Amino acid sequence: MRSRTPAGLLTLACVLLAVGCGPRGEPERKFALRDSGIPVHCSTGKDVEFGTIEGGREWFGFVQDPFSRCSFELIVPPASRLSFRLSLAAISHARGASAKVAIHSRVGETNHVLLVREVSPDEAVFEGSVELSAGASTISLWVAASEKKKGSSAFVAWSDLEIWSDSPDEDDGLPWIVGAEKALAPFLETHGNSGAPREQRRRLLIIGFDGASWQLMERLLDEGKMPYLNALRARGRWGVLRSTVVPESAMGWSAIRTGVNPGKSGMYTFYSGVQPRRSFWHFLGDRDLTSIVVAVPTASALHPINGVLIHGWAGADTPRWALPEDIIPPLERAGYDPTLADLKNTRYFLERMQTRTDVSSLLLENMDWDLGFVVFEYTDSVGHRFGLYTREWDEVYRAVDGHLATLLEVVDDQTTVMVISDHGWRYFERSIHLNQWLRSNDFDGWKANLPVSASTVSISRKDVGTAQPPKEPRDSRARALRRIRRGLLELRDPKTGQKVIERVRSPTDVFHGPYSDRAPGRLLVEADEDYRMLTDRSRGKGKGRRRVFGEPGDTHAFEGIYVLAGPGIEAVEGPQASIYDIAPTVLNFFGIPPPVDADGATLMDFGVTDAGAQPPEPLYFSEDASGTAEGGGEVSRELEENLRTLGYIE
């Protein structure tokens, strides 16, 4: 659960009752959780549904399993407390069972232990309240069987969960979350087009599906379960979009928005910090063109934009996660959460997608803009959490298709639409456990390290931190590196007898530019694309982890997607394109030549670029492009945990 802002919350119904006075002599107001529509998520992976619990009387609450945590999120006003009723005996499945319960409140990076208590069956009902700290909070309810009864099953029931506050009135009630339309209304009154007729202009709407591939979606498309993407593809130019040499999200989305490799952008992994390279919307802003950018991974609100930018995958400690900054309170009121969704719960994904679409649609419909860019990471997250072709996977992909339809409804038929993914996803029959190979060949001082994805992984010294560049000159320990390289190039799969490693190169031979010296690792190992690379922390279980070969599984792949549809675009299957082609395509659409060092080319010539126009400058936020990437090597603890849970990092 996130600790910043309530995630995907539904519209809340606040019950304001004057029932006495608080500590300052002001009337207290009550907010019943059962009336709110707030989702309560549990570590068991099940959503909690409030209902009637039978006991000495009818209580309205939920039952919590032993050894679990159930959490909900909301913005807590000052001078507030949580009241509750707890029952154990009425629903215990073991005679004499007892339970230890706790209530925690997490605000930002601070965890507050509000209650720790052992409840026995002798207490038919335990009522109480705890004081809450103000702010965007995660309230967690913990249950464990008592140590005295390890074999028992101590279930508990929470009921009558209510928030009480004597904070002065704000707006039309307590500062709980409201729907996107109401929350954003004040912002749109200030920044919107005020209902004026829309100016006729060239518009490009980009919609990103993280981790999508045509191969993955073929069945859903054929069965008519993704009709809107199918219809868009039928009227546009489409094909495979080849990802970066390491097909993972930080590198992929950075390549999409800059058009250059990590050696020029500084973005190798999520640990690379805020990149110094300008994105294509910054070049548009130089020409007074307006962009609305929502949830593009690693896009930072620390850099200015002409328009609106909402951070993709922000950490809980990122205070400035949207621009202009006066949109942050409305987004919080709308229940928008910019952090990475990592729960194994599709309802949680669906709620967050709905909030993102509601916010994006309102911005696109009520503001003047030239470029819109909205990304949904859930098409990738559902694969990490549930696997391919599961019921949950189908559910999320069908939902994303519906959100595509909603976004298309707010643009006219003169708007050009692009759908892209940063990489694909596939099932691998065979895997290579590189660390096991290093150990078995007496290379104990070396390890597989980030970046790693699909068939590619880097090798570092063991004393080098995650995703960090070497501590020593890259030409040191040359003899050991030569031995590793020779050994890997001779590595054969005992099942087939075939060599499996395609290339072993220095990262500086792969990544070119002023930031090539920031590349992690001493060697970049690229296996045959039918093999998945594993490290010690890669997903997967079983005896195969102790062998160099084995362990089938699914993960990222190189083949992503692109669709380009709009006026003057022929409906045809196009050739395979490079992920580096997207930024030049966007710039060409707006008549801007690509940067002189772009690593890709436009997918088509839109016929609006002046032959004498100059490529955009400057290319970096700093005049000195050889400087160190801002914030390099640091990721918030929360974001790191979420990325690891989803498999984005090791």
Q: What is the pLDDT of residues 239-297, one digit of tens each?
A: 999 999 999 999 999 999 999 999 999 999 988 888 899 999 999 999 999 999 999 99
- Alpha-carbon distance 595 to 603, whole Å? 15
Q: Measure Cα distances from 491 to 68, 89, 509, 532, 649 in Å.
A: 45, 62, 22, 15, 26
Q: What is the pLDDT of residue 7?
A: 34
**Average pLDDT over every residue of 532-542:** 65
pLDDT at residue 494 above 70? yes
Nearest to 140 by CA among 192, 90, 74: 74
176-219 pLDDT, tens per residue? 666 899 889 989 999 988 555 566 789 999 999 999 999 999 99
Q: What is the pLDDT of residue 643?
A: 72
State the pLDDT confidence band at 172, using cuts at 50, 70 and 90. very low
Output 17 or 181, whichever has higher pLDDT: 181
Could you tell me the pTM of the whole model? 0.78
Q: What is the pLDDT of residue 492?
A: 97
Tell me the DSSP string of 499-533.
Answer: B-EEEEE-HHHH--STTGGG--SSEEEEE-TTEEE
State the pLDDT confidence band at 636, using cuts at 50, 70 and 90. low
pLDDT at residue 303 above 60? yes
CA 212 to chain centre: 14
Q: Of the given ranges (43-47, 90-94, 427-431, 526-530), which has the lowest mean pLDDT?
A: 90-94
Q: Measure Cα distances from 505 to 384, 502, 560, 612 in Å.
A: 29, 10, 24, 40
- Alpha-carbon distance 585 to 488, whole Å? 38
Residues 6+ apart with CB under 8 A from 435: 447, 448, 534, 535, 536
Q: What is the pLDDT of residue 35?
A: 67
Collapse the DSSP code of 457 into the 3-class scheme (helix H, G, I; strand E, B; otherwise coil) and give the result. Answer: strand
CA 502 to chain centre: 31
Output 611 or 371, whichever has higher pLDDT: 371
State the pLDDT confidence band at 21, using cuts at 50, 70 and 90. very low
Token readout for 494 is 């005992």
Which spans in 341-433 are helix H? 346-366, 378-386, 391-409
277-289 pLDDT, tens per residue? 999 999 999 999 9
State the pLDDT confidence band at 14, using cuts at 50, 70 and 90. very low
Most confident of 176-190, 306-320, 514-528, 621-635: 514-528
273 sits in the region (left: phi over 0; alpha: psi -120 to 50; else beta) called left
**Average pLDDT over every residue of 147-164:** 69
Token readout for 20 is 């006495």
Nearest to 92 by CA among 59, 57, 65, 58: 65
| Whether the Cβ atoms of residue 252 and residue 422 lie closer than 8 Å to each other | yes
For strands 307-312 and 322-323, give the pairing.
Answer: antiparallel
Angle at 370 between CA 367 and CA 372, to 5 degrees: 80
**Average pLDDT over every residue of 300-327:** 88
- Alpha-carbon distance 306 to 287, whole Å? 10
φ and ψ at residue 151, rounded to 5 degrees: -85, 0
- Alpha-carbon distance 280 to 372, whole Å? 12
State the pLDDT confidence band at 110, using cuts at 50, 70 and 90. confident
Q: Of the given ranges (316-320, 523-527, 590-594), which has the lowest mean pLDDT?
A: 316-320
Residue 250's identity, in one-letter code, is A
- Alpha-carbon distance 274 to 281, whole Å? 16
Q: What is the pLDDT of residue 281?
A: 98
Collapse the DSSP code of 376 into the 3-class scheme (helix H, G, I; strand E, B; otherwise coil) and give the result. Answer: strand
Residue 95 exposed, middle or buried by CB count within 10 Å (0-12, 13-18, 19+): exposed
- Alpha-carbon distance 533 to 511, whole Å? 20
Angle at 360 between CA 358 and CA 362, to 5 degrees: 70
pLDDT at residue 175 above 60? no
Residue 510 exposed, middle or buried by CB count within 10 Å (0-12, 13-18, 19+): buried
Q: What is the pLDDT of residue 176?
A: 60
Which spans in 259-345 are helix H? 262-265, 280-286, 328-333
State the pLDDT confidence band at 227, using cuts at 50, 70 and 90. very high
State the pLDDT confidence band at 317, using cuts at 50, 70 and 90. low
Q: What is the pLDDT of residue 167?
A: 65
- DSSP 8-class letter at 200: P
| Whether the Cβ atoms of residue 380 and residue 73 lie closer than 8 Å to each other | no
Beta bridge partners of 560: 241
Q: Measure Cα distances from 535 to 39, 423, 428, 447 in Å.
A: 36, 20, 15, 8
pLDDT at residue 149 above 50? no
Q: What is the pLDDT of residue 472?
A: 92
| Whether the Cβ atoms of residue 523 and residue 444 lie closer than 8 Å to each other | no
Q: What is the pLDDT of residue 123?
A: 65
State the pLDDT confidence band at 170, using cuts at 50, 70 and 90. very low
φ and ψ at residue 191, rounded to 5 degrees: -110, -10
Q: What is the pLDDT of residue 36?
A: 65
Q: What is the pLDDT of residue 649?
A: 65
Collapse the DSSP code of 369 into the 3-class scheme (helix H, G, I; strand E, B; otherwise coil) and give the result. Answer: coil
Distance between terminal CA atoms of the chain? 20
Residues 6+ apart with CB under 8 A from 194: none
Q: Of the given ranges (44-58, 414-428, 457-471, 497-511), which has the lowest mean pLDDT?
A: 44-58
Output 176 or 409, whichever has higher pLDDT: 409
355-401 pLDDT, tens per residue? 999 999 999 999 999 999 999 999 999 999 899 999 999 999 999 99
- Alpha-carbon distance 634 to 642, whole Å? 15
HSE-up of 368 (CA within 13 Å, CB side)?
14
State the pLDDT confidence band at 10, using cuts at 50, 70 and 90. very low
Q: Of the given ranges (370-374, 434-438, 602-606, 607-611), which has the lowest mean pLDDT?
A: 607-611
C-alpha dihedral (142, 143, 146, 150), degrees to nearest 10: -120
- Alpha-carbon distance 89 to 548, whole Å? 52
C-alpha dihedral (591, 596, 599, 603), degrees to nearest 10: 20
Q: Of the given ranges (3-12, 105-114, 145-154), which has the lowest mean pLDDT?
A: 3-12
Residues 6+ apart with CB under 8 A from 623: none
Residue 349's identity, in one-letter code, is F
pLDDT at residue 6 above 50? no
Q: What is the pLDDT of residue 635?
A: 64
State the pLDDT confidence band at 60, using cuts at 50, 70 and 90. confident
- In percent, how much of the chain has pLDDT > 90? 57
- Alpha-carbon distance 46 to 24, whole Å? 40
| Whether the Cβ atoms of residue 268 and residue 519 lie closer than 8 Å to each other | yes
Tell me which H or E stretch contains 593.
none
**Average pLDDT over every residue of 48-56:** 65
Residue 351's identity, in one-letter code, is E
Q: What is the pLDDT of residue 518?
A: 93
Q: What is the pLDDT of residue 357?
A: 98
Bond into 329 cis (ω within 30): no
Q: Of the given ranges (134-143, 238-247, 512-521), which has the lowest mean pLDDT?
A: 134-143
**Average pLDDT over every residue of 534-542:** 59
**Residue located via tokens 């498999």:** 647
- Alpha-carbon distance 191 to 362, whole Å? 12
Average pLDDT, the chain: 84
pLDDT at residue 627 above 70? no
Q: What is the pLDDT of residue 630?
A: 40
